[in-house]
């Protein structure tokens, strides 16, 4: 469920190649014993261990940005706050739902909520070029993914996970 949104890394675009990709994350030990993200040879691996049930209500702010000045500053392309359980359990097709379905072939993610304690993973996953919006252009991208419960930027916000993913994408 959580890794659905790591897919916005923009690693593989139609006829484009990610020449460099890195990522880092920080997690709340209340929700995770471990959360590891690795991008190697243009594939993504992810491991997470949840010590307790992750209930409904987990939201994700996905902020996709591009640098127009070689990484000095980034400009927002789009940002969305999403209810992760709604995306995962929806029967409607959307960009985010398509990404999640693509990931299920390479991992053991739950398809419903709440998510029971356990070890969840993604192995050797590549974003299919057909799943990426065609309006994106080559460039230096940053994707910020902020997972939380409650209301964002208030005293009621409970942060579960933050990820920053960078990818330099060029035309092949």
The domain that holds 29 is classified in CATH as: 2.70.220
Residue whose token pair is 């209340």:
30
Confidence band for 165, pLDDT divided at 50, 70 and 90:
confident
7, 46 in Cβ contact below 8 A? no
pLDDT of residue 41: 76
Question: How do residues 10-52 score in pLDDT, each as one tens digit?
Answer: 333 333 344 455 778 999 999 999 999 888 877 889 999 999 9
Domain residues for the domain of 14 are 2-171
- pTM exceeding 0.85: no
Lowest mean pLDDT among 34-38, 47-51, 93-97, 146-150: 93-97
Residue 1 structure tokens: 């469920």
- Give the torsion sign (CA, 143, 147, 151, 155): negative
Q: How many domains does the chain have?
A: 1
pLDDT of residue 19: 44
């Amino acid at each position: 469920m959580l890794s659905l949104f790591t897919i916005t890394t923009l690693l593989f675009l139609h006829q484009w190649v990610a020449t460099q990709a890195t990522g880092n994350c920080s997690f709340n030990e209340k929700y995770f014993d471990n959360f590891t993200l690795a991008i190697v040879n243009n594939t993504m691996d992810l491991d997470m261990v949840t010590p307790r049930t992750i209930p409904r209500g987990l939201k994700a702010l996905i902020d996709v940005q591009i640098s127009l000045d070689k990484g000095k500053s980034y400009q927002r392309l789009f940002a969305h706050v999403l209810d992760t359980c709604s995306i995962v359990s929806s029967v409607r097709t959307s960009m985010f739902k398509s990404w999640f379905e693509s990931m299920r072939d390479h991992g053991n993610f739950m398809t419903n909520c709440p998510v029971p304690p356990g070890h969840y993973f993604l192995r050797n996953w590549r974003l299919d070029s057909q799943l990426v919006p065609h309006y994106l252009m080559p460039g230096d991208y940053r994707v910020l993914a902020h997972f939380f419960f409650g209301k964002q930027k208030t005293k009621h916000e409970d942060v579960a996970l933050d990820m920053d993913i960078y990818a330099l994408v060029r035309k092949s």
